[in-house]
Chains A and B, each alone.
Chain A
Amino acid sequence: MGAMTLRNKKIVLAVLLILQLVELVALAESLVPLGLVVPLLSLALLAWLFAERHHKSLPATVDRLEPVVVMVPEADEPSKSQSDSPVQKPEIDLSLLMEQQVSIHLAGQLSRLVSDDTEKAVMTLSNSIFGLLQTSKKVSLNIEESLKTLTGGEAGLDSMVQHLDTHWQAFNNLGQNFDTLRQALEKDIHVLSVTVGAINEFSDRISDLADQTNVLAINASIEAARVGLPGRGFAVIANQVQLLAKNSKTIAETMAETVRNVVSTVELSFQRQTERIRTSEKLIARSEHDLRDWSQKVEPQVQRVELLVNQSRSMAELVTQELNSVTVSLQFQDRVRQMLEHLEVLTRSAGDDLANLTEVPLSGVSENVRMRAVERASKLFTVEQEWSLVGGRRSNENNGPRVELF
Chain B
Amino acid sequence: MGKKILCIDDSSTIRMLVKKTLLPLDYEVLEAENGKQGLEMAINNPVDLLLVDVNMPVMNGFECVAAVKALPQYAKVPMVFLTTESSQEKKDQGRQLGVSGWIIKPFEPDGLVKILRMLLP
Contacts and interface: CB of A to CB of B under 8 A. Distances in A.
A associates with B: yes
Contact of B16 (A126, A321, A329): A126
Contact of B14 (A123, A137, A321, A334): A334
A335 B21 contact: no
Given A335-B84, A338-B11, A323 B24 contact: no
A202 interface: no
Contacts of B105: 331
Contacts of A137: 24
Given A334-B11, A334-B14, A335-B84, A328 B110 contact: no
Given A126-B20, A338-B11, A327 B84 contact: no
Contact of A122 (B13, B24, B106, B108): B13
A388 interface: no
A331 B16 contact: no
B16 A327 contact: no
A320 to B, nearest CB: 7
Interface residues of A, number: 23
A59 to B, nearest CB: 30
Contact of B17 (A119, A330, A337): A330
Grouping DSSP codes into helix (H, G, I), strand (E, B) and loop, the A interface class, with mixed when no group exceeds half, is helix
A134 B106 contact: no
B109 interface: yes
A215 to B, nearest CB: 117
B106 A126 contact: no
Contacts of A261: none
Given A330-B13, A332-B106, 16 more contacts: A119-B13, A126-B17, A320-B109, A320-B110, A321-B110, A324-B108, A327-B106, A327-B107, A327-B108, A329-B106, A330-B17, A330-B106, A331-B14, A333-B13, A334-B11, A338-B11
Interface of B: 11-14, 16-17, 20-21, 24, 84, 105-110
14 contacts: A119-B12, A126-B16, A324-B108, A327-B106, A327-B107, A327-B109, A329-B106, A330-B106, A331-B105, A331-B107, A333-B13, A334-B11, A334-B13, A337-B13
